[in-house]
Structure 1
Amino acid sequence: MNFDYSPKTQDLLARVKAFMDEHVYPNEHRFEAEVAEGDRWQPTQVMEEMKAKAKAAGLWNLFLPEFEEGAGLTNLEYAPLCEQMGRVLWAPEIFNCSAPDTGNMEVLARYGTQEQKDTWLTPLLKGEIRSAFAMTEPAVASSDATNIQSSIVRDGDEYVINGRKWWTSGANDPRCKVFIFMGKSDPDNESRHRQQSMILVPADAEGITIMRHLPVFGFDDAPHGHAEVDFKDVRVPASNMLLGEGRGFEIAQGRLGPGRIHHCMRLIGLTERALEKMCHRLATRTAFGKPVARQSVWYERVAESRILIDQARLLTLKAADMMDKVGNKAAAQEIAMIKVMAPNMACQVIDWAIQAHGGGGMTTDFGLAQAYSWARVLRLADGPDEVHRQSIAKMEFGRQMAPA
């Protein structure tokens, strides 16, 4: 394995770092202030200003491989760029590299018809609209996606959609114009993995109701946020079906692999910044007659943090390299491993950073409480730890028990 960054990646990484230094870090407080003013769910002016600058600088759609609209980067090449963006929770949007839009754009690029691409992918790539992914349901254990009960029923030239979804990130955003909706189109199919389909649902379709926003440990993540959404007899054209009936699970697996690794990349950046804040705080505070940094327990925690972050980064780079070389399916175990390891690593390191800041760590002053909340969410989002561990174990037994 050779994880040396290509000259193209080194150039882009230097440009992303410079952009973060010049535009993002100095505007963190301005972004927070604009969100706090007036309607929290309206886009902020500072975000739109930075997006225009990023687009002009050629730092746009860096995530999208293989397609002419993107930068043509492999997963391995994109990893350090994604990590840099992840150092600020909302920064990926500046580069049009934020979830769930990245996953939705990849779905449309890979599986969409030309009409679907023209209608939804093109404005998403331009950053003119945003999107949401409606999969998880409050009434069932959605860690097993075959439990999903929402229905997609053919009626002539239309499909009729019914169901209640939640944790539909971005649905509160007025720029959200389309949902990718997963539901059952063939509930009696003998294959549990052929019962589901995915379909494009315009956000302004009649019958859609945003029930409420869902806070995460008290944070509403405005103006993006997460929502519970009700779909009641929503009608869309039959041409909105993605790939074909019964292909929903296939699309989900193609979507979630890159989505999972992007989350891990961003988390590594977020955790690196937490470690930086931890070290600075420890070095500038005195307790019991000496700097807090010289208390033995903090040497141990800082060292362990460095080890944990680098372990997570190396395993993530390995997974990215395998995805590039042998495909997402062959890299399934590595993807599952990083999806377990990275959020748990982040929770531990950010927790120590909070502890190092004392009471200040629990406020919004240092951004650590919200960082922890996001890391904790990712132990559930895109599949909970338990499901990924089960998959890892099954694959390991298969490998160990295979004939020599």
Structure 2
Amino acid sequence: MDFAHSARAADYRERVAAFVRDEIEPVEVEYHRALAADPWVVPPLVADLKARAREQGLWNLFLSSASGLSTVEYAPLAEVMGRSPLAPEVFNCNAPDTGNMEVLHLYGSQAQQDRWLVPLLDGRIRSAFCMTEPDVASSDATNMAATAVPDGDEVVLNGTKWFSTGLGHPNCSVVIFMGLTDPGAPRHAQHSMVLVPLDTPGVKIERMLPVLGRHDEPYGHGEVSFTDVRVPLDSVIAGLGRGFEIAQGRLGPGRVHHCMRLVGLAERALELACTRATNRVAFGTPLSDLGGNRERIANARIAIDQARLLVLHAAWKLDTLGPAAARSEISQIKVAVPTMATAVIDMSIQLHGAAGLTDDYPLAAAYTTARALHLADGPTEVHQSLIARLELQKYRP
């Protein structure tokens, strides 16, 4: 593969990086101060940033049909956006909306696209994805207990979902619910995905879940119950029984996006570590000359660059050979990148001392994000099992 960015990707990357540096990072303190005062209301400065980003053509860059970018071309843009927790929303490239928009773009009917995809692409509404459940091992989707059962011209939903990211956002208007439709069908044809307006009777947000003590406002991770929720049968995406197929199509590019954002987050943590190490003096010596810190910084540089190349290779294989051929590589990045990012951010926290644990620096929030991604989109152990299985297949008679 060619490691050089295409001319189109290089241009977008330069423009996105300039916007993050000049427009977003300078207002992060103001943004977080506003959220501290009112956690579940989006500060007005976000709408202003989004309008400016859209005017500059930096909008919906994740969607190839909108931007013309392949997965490997979008990956470096996701890395730049990963530097700031605010940046993805500013460019309308925030999860889980990106995955939900891809689902609607690839599998949605014209009516579903008109009702939900258009306002999502416009940034007028937000969405959530309801798959994980509290009472089963959701890393295996076939364990799913929530149900989506057809009843005449309706489908009836029952069950409880949790860690549904984005449910706390004031503009969240719709969720994609994944439930069991036919337990007697083949293993990967039992589930369906259904579009559910958040104000449908029987839908109740039970609570917002903290992650290592943080609520990730104004997005949040919600526990939501569905009690005899009825929606029209045409709310089912692509047809009954196609939920697992859609989920697999959704997760491949999404994992690349997650991992490249983590690479960007690790880069910012390393920048903060290097600044701290060169400017902070202890025992009459800069931190960079104490206690093996040079080796730690060197190892962080190596680890970030290794991870970036691994993700770009997975993205390239996804683009050129398709999701099935890139299964191992996509799982590899889901193991390697959160592990790398957690270690780099932890090192940076250590160099900052007690200050690194506070909100004076973005490191505590960054660590929470990186640690959570050891579990999100499939826990590390599940991906390791898949990688090993695919590797061992090469040697079986």
TM-score bracket for this pair, using the shorter chain length: over 0.9
1:380 and 1:163 map into 2 onto residues whose CA distance is 22
SS of match in other structure, 1:193:
helix
For 1:392, give the aligned amino acid: I
2:47 corresponds to 1:51: no
SS of match in other structure, 2:187:
coil
Tell me which of 317, 331, 340 is aligned to 2:335: 340
For 1:120, give the aligned amino acid: W
Tell whether the 8 Å contact from 2:24 to 2:86 is kept in structure 1 after alignment: no
1:21 and 1:375 map into 2 onto residues whose CA distance is 22
Root mean square deviation of aligned Cα: 0.8
What is the aligned partner in structure 1 of residue 157 from structure 2? 161
For 1:259, give the aligned amino acid: G
1:339 and 1:72 map into 2 onto residues whose CA distance is 25
What is the aligned partner in structure 1 of residue 278 from structure 2? 283
2:234 corresponds to 1:239: yes
2:222 corresponds to 1:227: yes
Tell whether the 8 Å contact from 2:189 to 2:242 is kept in structure 1 after alignment: yes
Q: How does 1:318-333 map to 2 (within 5 A)?
A: 318-333=313-328
SS of match in other structure, 2:257:
helix
1:168 and 1:54 map into 2 onto residues whose CA distance is 27
SS of match in other structure, 1:131:
strand
Shift of 1:296: 4.5
Shift of 1:173: 1.3
1:194 and 1:264 map into 2 onto residues whose CA distance is 29
Tell me which of 131, 138, 141 is aligned to 1:142: 138
Shift of 1:194: 1.3
What is the aligned partner in structure 2 of residue 5 from structure 1? 5
2:171 corresponds to 1:175: yes
Q: How does 1:264-279 map to 2 (within 5 A)?
A: 264-279=259-274
For 2:154, give the aligned amino acid: E
1:247 and 1:101 map into 2 onto residues whose CA distance is 20
SS of match in other structure, 2:188:
coil
2:116 and 2:279 map into 1 onto residues whose CA distance is 50
1:388 and 1:299 map into 2 onto residues whose CA distance is 32
1:392 and 1:111 map into 2 onto residues whose CA distance is 28
For 1:358, give the aligned amino acid: G
2:196 corresponds to 1:201: yes
What is the aligned partner in structure 1 of residue 251 from structure 2? 256
What is the aligned partner in structure 1 of residue 63 from structure 2? 64
Shift of 1:187: 1.5
2:49 and 2:170 map into 1 onto residues whose CA distance is 19
When the two structures are superposed, what TM-score results if normalisation uses the length of structure 1? 0.97
SS of match in other structure, 2:53:
helix
What is the aligned partner in structure 1 of residue 300 from structure 2? 305
2:349 corresponds to 1:354: yes
Task: Show structure 2 runs of 5+ residues with no match.
Answer: none
For 1:57, give the aligned amino acid: Q
Tell whether the 8 Å contact from 2:132 to 2:161 is kept in structure 1 after alignment: yes
Question: Any runs of at least 4 consecutive aligned residues in structure 1 with deviations exceeding 4 A, and if so which?
Answer: none
What is the aligned partner in structure 1 of residue 210 from structure 2? 215
Shift of 1:181: 0.5
2:72 and 2:254 map into 1 onto residues whose CA distance is 14
Tell me which of 125, 128, 151 is aligned to 2:124: 128
Alignment: residue pair count: 397
2:114 corresponds to 1:118: yes
What is the aligned partner in structure 1 of residue 35 from structure 2? 35
2:216 and 2:5 map into 1 onto residues whose CA distance is 33
SS of match in other structure, 2:248:
helix
For 2:54, give the aligned amino acid: K
2:192 and 2:249 map into 1 onto residues whose CA distance is 14
2:14 corresponds to 1:18: no
Sequence identity percentage? 54
1:399 and 1:264 map into 2 onto residues whose CA distance is 27
Deviations 1:159-211 (A, max 9, x none): 0100100000011112111111100010222x222111111111110101100
